[in-house]
Every structure is written in C-alpha cells, then in structure tokens.
A and B are shown apart, each in its own frame.
Chain A
Amino acid sequence: DAKTTQPTSMDCAEGRAANLPCNHSTISGNEYVYWYRQIHSQGPQYIIHGLKNNETNEMASLIITEDRKSSTLILPHATLRDTAVYYCIVRGTSGTYKYIFGTGTRLKVLA
C-alpha cells in the first residue's frame, strides 16, 4: 500500500472550511484514498473514501487530483467538535489487507 504524507497539525477558525491535504505520490491505479478521524482517544471514525472522482457525503468532501498523487479532505463548516486527528490512508480492495494509518493531522478548530 502507498505511503501517505500529511501535515502534523493545522488550525481552522470555527465556521470556516477546513482543508486537510494528503500526499500519496506512489498510489497505484486500484488503490482508494480513505479518511478517518479520531477524537481524543476514542476509536477512529470513518469519514469518506474515493478512487479518482471527487466524493461528498454528509460529513465532508474529498477532492482527488487528476494524477491521483494527492487529495484534500474538506470540512465545509468546521465546528469545535471537528477538533481531532485526521488520518489519510491509501489501500487497494484486493491483495494486501494491511492498513497503514501513520500519525495523521491534528486539526484544532478555534472559537
């Protein structure tokens, strides 16, 4: 599975959009991009995933560049409850079944 690179931390003002980048330059054609978040020391929570098209759900939007080497998770109107560590993971749907979470981005939403 491809390795991902994320900034260690970011701040965002409450009510503004939070844009969290992820680099995955070695991603292969059948690998999806997944995003999870972890609030305090709770179990991680799934947010969204995609292959090459942009995706949107009730929590967030996922923008994947055309070359698929990077992506951005967008929280359109960040709230204080969105303060968490956000993990970007790249993996395929067949073959290896390992997950590599890395250390993620610590997002702090400021009042």
Chain B
Amino acid sequence: EAQVTQNPRYLITVTGKKLTVTCSQNMNHEYMSWYRQDPGLGLRQIYYSMNVEVTDKGDVPEGYKVSRKEKRNFPLILESPSPNQTSLYFCASRRQGGISGYEQYFGPGTRLTVT
C-alpha cells in the first residue's frame, strides 16, 4: 500500500531534550516536506526537500533541522525543543516535475507536546 508513515504518532517531552520525528514514504517520491499545524494558523510549511541531499526552508524553519540522505526518508530534528513547538506535525511527499504537477500525500501526523 502506497503510504507516508511517521513515528512516533504521539510524543510528550521536556524542554531541551533533542528529539527526531521520522518520516518514510514507499512511493519513490522525489519531493518531501514537513508541516506544522496550530489552532487558528492552519498548515505551515517547515522544510522541504526536492531530492536527496537537497533541502530548503519553508515558512517556519526556526528551531528545526532536516536531512535527506535517502530518497524514502526525511526526518525532522528538534535539537532543543521548546514549548512553542508543541504542535501537530505532518510529513508529505509527492512526485516531482510533470506538466501539471502532482498531488501531495500526507502522513497521519505526529502530535508533539513539549513541557
């Protein structure tokens, strides 16, 4: 089954304790992206990657790091989490290129709480 998976689905952690949220897709997609969703603010893009070893900032990259060493994986790293990073996080992937573009496939979400 074609899908985007995220782990963990739920995480409660403390301020300053480094964490990684994993994202993996099995569709051989070139493009992958991370979003956060907060009440009243909708979905905001954190980082995206157009292919292996190619990443770029979205609208809210502060406090996050990403890496794209393999095509299928795109982990989100919080080096020193703070309470304002408490949010619902989504990973997404899609094919790159094409005349009309392609739709994104989203993972199930990771609910992160930083105390």
Contacts and interface: CB of A to CB of B under 8 A. Distances in A.
Interface of A: 32, 34, 36, 38, 41-46, 49, 51, 87, 91-93, 97-104
B105 A100 contact: no
A41 B45 contact: no
Q: Which 4 A-B pairs have the closest CB atoms?
A: A43-B106, A46-B103, A101-B43, A103-B42
Contact of A98 (B41, B45, B92): B45
A46 B101 CA distance: 12
A98 B42 contact: no
29 contacts: A32-B100, A32-B101, A34-B103, A36-B104, A41-B37, A41-B111, A42-B108, A43-B90, A44-B43, A44-B92, A44-B104, A44-B106, A45-B106, A46-B103, A46-B104, A49-B100, A49-B101, A51-B100, A93-B97, A93-B98, A93-B99, A97-B31, A98-B59, A99-B45, A99-B48, A101-B43, A102-B42, A103-B41, A103-B42
Contacts, number: 69
B77 interface: no
Contacts of A41: 37, 88, 109, 111
Contacts of A43: 4, 90, 92, 106-109
Contacts of B21: none
